Structure 1
């Protein structure tokens, strides 16, 4: 891993943390709030690729485990990881990896319409699909609410995550045009 890789990984971890400065929006009936940090996960995968994007997400998770208040609302600590939101937090790593892998494989070019559409699909698959695949079963297990209720309750996050995926593609497209970064 080069110095540039380390700097980009740390930069995107800091971006994910900075997006946590926006206060969380509570959702009635669920112990999982809406945050902007999932936007950072999508951006990390779309701009850095699977390895560096996944490492940026893993670095944030490590900071949380170590007790630093880097999550939205100033939360942090091992208790957050083993709590209801822990699965979504742990899902950030595969979310960034899946997003980065898809975009590196299918949309590495200048992101015209076709590549931008594929990048959006990458953001949806990783930022929503992979994160939810870990988060929803975890939520069901920790709260005892059952998988179907956790799945139904988590559906309220989908519209906001769709908007975040579109925003991530627009931002990533501009960043990639202004500052081409080799995806790793």
Structure 2
């Protein structure tokens, strides 16, 4: 019997997990730097990646990738959208969009949890439900935090929600489509 020793397996899994975290945080950083052209407000492609991390990696790994990304930014690495020239670190995290960064953690966790837990309905519906729920929980801390800067009246939704709905719907559709295609191929 040629079983791999436990010590070698644990090194393999530890290395594999570290590589997943590193590559995921790089992907999230790159997506922060890609701005959707021809859109009325600056919008990165991060939402696609955050939702995709939850879908493809599950709630724990997906959230861990986002957590590593947030730590990189907190420690001053220019991983966030607009950095540089915007300052990185805690100044960015405590700025107007800091709540959306916290929402990334929730979105990855909720999206991954739902897509792993719901059975009995078509994959596209499960995935759509997971992505919509993930998108909603992303906005909750984002808008609550943004309200500290712009107020909680009508202006909050005009600044933090309405301009992004169409773009986020397109990004959600992309995440759903990619997951259904990849997952569908795995089941063949």
For normalisation by structure 1, the TM-score amounts to 0.81
Residue 171 in structure 1 maps to residue 183 in structure 2: no
2:122 partner SS: helix
Q: Which residue, out of 151, 172, 176, partners 1:145?
A: 151
The 1:165/1:24 distance shift into structure 2, 3 A limit, reads closer
Q: Between Structure 1 and Structure 2, whose CA radius of gyration is higher? A: 2
Aligned counterpart, 1:159:
166
Q: Which has the higher strand share?
A: 1
Computed over aligned residues only, the root mean square deviation of the Cα atoms, in angstroms, reads 2.4
In the alignment, structure 1 segments of 5+ residues that lack a partner are: none
* Structure 1 residue 178: Cα displacement: 5.3
* 2: CA distance, partners of 1:149 / 1:16: 29
Partner Cα distance (1:71, 1:131) in 2:
16
Asked if the contact 2:100–2:143 (Cα under 8 Å) also holds between the matched residues in 1, the reply is yes
The alpha-carbon deviation at position 179 of structure 1 amounts to: 6.2
CA distance in 1, matches of 2:124, 2:175: 11
Distance 1:11 1:140 in 2: 33
So what's the TM-score if we normalise by structure 2? Answer: 0.80
**C-alpha distance after superposition, 1:87-146 (max 9, x if no partner):** 001110011000000001115x9xxx81112101211111x21110010010001x1422
Structure 2 unaligned regions, length at least 5: 1-9
| 1:85 shift after superposition | 0.6
1:133 to 134, 140, 156: 140
- 2: CA distance between counterparts of 1:74 and 1:179? 38
